[in-house]
A and B are shown apart, each in its own frame.
Chain A
Amino acid sequence: MRDPNAIDFWRGLALVTIFINHVPGNTFERYTYSQYGVSDAAELFVFLAGWSIGIATRGRDGTPEPGGRSVLRLLSRTIEVYRAQLTVMLMALAIIAGTALLLDNPLILEWHNAGGFFADPIQTVVGIVLLTHQLGFFNILPLYVVLLGIAPFFILIARRSRVAALIVSGGLYLISLVEEWNLPSWPGQGDWFFNPLCWQLLLVLGFVLQDWNRESDTLRRWSRRLFPLGVALVLLGIGLALFEIRPDPLRVPEPRLLFTFDKTYLTPARLIHFLGVLLAFGPVYGLIAPWIGWAVAYLTQLGRNSLAVFSMGSILSLGGQLLRFWTGGGFLTDLCILCLGLLALGYTAWFVEWRSRKPRPRV
């Protein structure tokens, strides 16, 4: 078990934020930082995934592990995430169907894209396995599967040249924005909610910056210098969010995705805002960690076990949504969902670590 660190802390915070934001309409949603900017916790989560890959594919002394080993490591992680996605999708569909039966309410079957499965299971079950049919709020893991799947390609390039990896990644990002490339949904029309062709840039950025940060203190020096710019971007983001100022996608010049605030394509405005958040909040962990030991312990434990916590969080937030619907919502319900959810996320992280410490039983 690694010691508490900034990466796990922020990842834990992103997980808690995603959990709260995935129970829409709840009282506490307005207190998450996602409501006060152009980008949100998803960017943080993917960037930190890239940063972690950088750490995981090198030894403690910084020497890179053999390329083949890194490829296998990422392949193994891809399979793990894919398995988690299939499991949570199946559980989510069962929870939706079960609630519809219990409450004798077929309306629930229309829950965020689930209707497709219940109306046309023959095609949709194939789409679920292919990751081309996604439920609302259950679309980050498919993105993550693709990103981990293509990560070895970028990592092997970055071993030779970080700049080359950034150029390839940035090029794919730009061309996807201009040409509006995305992976298709199936069955049915439309595209992925998180476009991997664009979001890969954030993963590669995380990986490359971690590598650069490890090698020299240039990055740290520049982040200190650019701190005021980061604060300015964060303040600008707060202003834009509070006054609901955003470009009209039918009035911006072509190629329109360069100018809009689109989450699917991680448009430049979101990316720039996120980099501002990084600059502004980068130094914060070191300043606050000594004062909030309990929160650091809790959040870093979540961050260390992000896949299990994220998966459990997805199921819990769905449960929270249905509970709000059934009870009619309200502050007390929201408070219960928040407290029970945070406890359950903490317990999940603890359980995963406990299980990894215990010798596996022989069956």
Chain B
Amino acid sequence: MALPQAATPGLTRPRRLEGRLRPLALRLTALALCLVAGAALAEEAPPRPAPPAVVSPPAASEPGDTSLSPECRVPGSQLYTLARLGAVKAALKEKRPVRVLSIGGTSAGLGASSTYPVKLETALERSLPDVDVVIEARGLPGEIAGDAAERLRSIVAEVEPDLVVWQVGTHDALARVELSAFAEALDDTVRWIKSHDIDVVLVDPTYTASLATDAYYTSIVNAVREVAVREKVPLVLRYEAMRYLAGRSDKGAEGHMLGRQFRINDLGLRCMAEHVTRAITLSLLQPETTGGTKEPPALKAQGRGDGAGDGKAETKPGPH
């Protein structure tokens, strides 16, 4: 365990994974240049500085979703799985305001305009022109495997929303509750919300490097995915999206006095409203007949040190 180092974007000191990441093309280009300049000169040339630690984005062929702001751009396959949102569609058809209950995690709905619920309302209203979106935001202290499931039912009964956007799993993961208890309670609660003709969008827990190798944490993220698939509700792949953003170049990004993970976490909070809005608006385009969600591939906890092997993960393992 150590205190995190300050982020140093574009840093050039040798890194463990650098060798694997340095593209072959770069070396070939260097060789060609050397040939042009003459062999003797090439031999005396100072060693080429190591390129900044850029991890190529996964599924290189798939571009980031351009409807998102550049800093939040993630390919769709790593951002959401879609499903029908019947209750919201009905509200749109009836031309009445859409009531959204944003719950859990950072949903406490603090008043500042930069906070997630305010951003979510703005982003949804921008994406759904001429629609009035009313966000009710609530924190949800406690674990779903514990009392929070009951508390959530009371809040839903109180607010009577058309849609519940639920950031789920963080508290249970922090409490390391039994995985099966978490999955069962989550499934029960989602089924209960749906049984009252209220739509649900799940948001899985975020990614951070120090938990990339934590099999339990990954299982919690997978459990959320499984419930989303089973209950046919849209899912914002917050973990996957943040892993993608974490793997992008630091070039041009501002530093963070508390280190890289904290900067990425801030970025995640800034992007969440956009990501959730994207999943909702695309889910609204789902045809009536299809109800199923395409199952995202299950996550595996990364072995220590092999994080960048699949091109998605951190190049710099978090200090332990």
Which one of B31-39, B60-68, B135-143 is at the A interface? Answer: B135-143
| Interchain CB contact under 8 A, A113 and B139 | yes
On whether the beta carbons of B3 and A101 are closer than 8 Å, the reply is yes
Q: Does residue A112 face the partner (Cβ distance < 8 Å to B)? A: yes
Asked whether A264 is an interface residue with its Cβ less than 8 Å from the other chain, the reply is yes
Known: A109-B265, A250-B196. A120 touches B147 (CB 8 A): no
For residue A108, CB closer than 8 A to chain B, the reply is yes
Q: Please give, as numbers and ranges, the residues of chain B lying within 8 Å of A122 by CB-CB distance.
A: 112
Q: For the complex, what is the distance from the CA of A294 to the CA of B236, rounded to whole Å?
A: 54
Q: Please, how many angstroms separate the alpha-carbon atoms of A116 and B4 in the complex?
A: 22
**Interface membership of A353, Cβ < 8 A:** no
User: Interface size (B, Cβ < 8 Å)?
Assistant: 60
A278 contacts the other chain (Cβ, under 8 Å)?
A: no
Q: Which residue of B lies closest to A134 (CB)?
A: B141
Segment from B45-53, B90-98, B152-160 that makes contact with A: B152-160
Is the CB of A285 closer than 8 A to any CB of chain B? Answer: no
B115 near A119: Cβ-Cβ < 8 Å = yes
Query: What residue in chain B is nearest A180 (Cβ atoms)?
Result: B158
Q: Is the CB of A187 within 8 A of B110?
A: yes
* CA–CA, A102 and B206, complex, Å: 19
Instruction: Say yes or no: is B145 at the interface (Cβ < 8 Å to chain A).
Output: yes
Give the complex CA separation of A338 and B122 in angstroms: 47
* Chain A residue at minimum C-beta to C-beta distance from B157: A249
Which residues of B are in contact with A by a Cβ distance under 8 Å? 1-4, 105-106, 108-112, 114-115, 117, 136-139, 141-143, 145-147, 150-151, 153-158, 170-178, 192, 196, 205-206, 208-211, 216, 258-259, 261-262, 264-265, 269, 318-320
CB-defined contacts of A124 to chain B, threshold 8 Å: 110
Q: Which of A209-217, A304-312, A323-331 contacts B (4 or more CB under 8 A)?
A: A323-331
CA distance A187 to B151 in the complex (A): 20
Contacts of A102-135 to chain B: CB distance below 8 A? 102-113, 115-116, 119-120, 122-124, 135
Assess whether A190 is in contact with B139, with CB atoms less than 8 Å apart.
Answer: yes
Known A107-B174, A321-B175; contact A115-B208, beta-carbon cutoff 8 A: no
A263 within 8 Å of B (CB atoms): yes
Contact A110 B111 (CB under 8 A): no
Contacts of B170 in A (CB 8 A): 107, 110
Q: Are A104 and B110 in contact (CB under 8 A)?
A: no
Interface residue from B108, B147, B264 paired with A263 (Cβ < 8 Å): B147
Q: Write 5 A-B pairs (CB below 8 A) sorted by A numbering.
A: A25-B145, A25-B176, A110-B105, A110-B170, A250-B153
Q: How far is the CA of A101 from the CA of B261 in the complex (A)?
A: 10
Contact present for B210 and A104 (CB under 8 Å): yes
How many of chain A's residues have a CB under 8 angstroms from any CB in B? Answer: 49
A325 engages B106 (CB within 8 Å)? no
Contact at A102–B139, with CB atoms within 8 Å?
Answer: no
A57 interface contact, C-beta 8 A: no
A120 touches B115 (CB 8 A): yes
What is the CB-to-nearest-CB distance from B2 to chain A, in angstroms, rounded to a whole number?
8
Given A113-B108, A188-B108, A248-B192, CB of A135 within 8 Å of CB of B141: yes
Q: Which residues of A contact B210 (CB under 8 A)?
A: 103-105
Q: In the complex, which residue of chain B has the Cβ closest to the Cβ of A251?
A: B196
Residues of B within 8 A of A190 (CB): 108-109, 137-139, 155
B residues near A188, Cβ cutoff 8 Å: 108-111, 137, 139
Cβ of A45 within 8 Å of any chain B Cβ, yes or no, is: no
User: Chain B nearest CB: distance from A300 CB in Å?
Assistant: 29
**Please, which residues of chain B bring their CB within 8 A of the CB of A101?**
3-4, 258
Asked whether A350 is an interface residue with its Cβ less than 8 Å from the other chain, the reply is no
Known contacts: A249-B154, A328-B216. The answer to whether A25 contacts B110 by CB under 8 A is no
A324 pairs with B192, CB closer than 8 A: no
* Contact B154–A262 (Cβ < 8 Å): yes
CB-CB nearest in chain A for B136? A189
Contact A324 B106 (CB under 8 A): no
A261 at the interface (CB under 8 A from B): yes
Chain A residues in 8 Å Cβ range of B211: 105, 107
Among A104, A249, A262, residue most surrounded by chain B Cβ atoms (within 10 Å): A104
Taking the complex as formed, is A28 at the interface, i.e. its CB lies under 8 A from any CB of chain B?
no
Which A316-343 residues have C-beta < 8 A from chain B?
A: 321, 324-325, 328-329
* A342: min CB distance to chain B, Å: 20
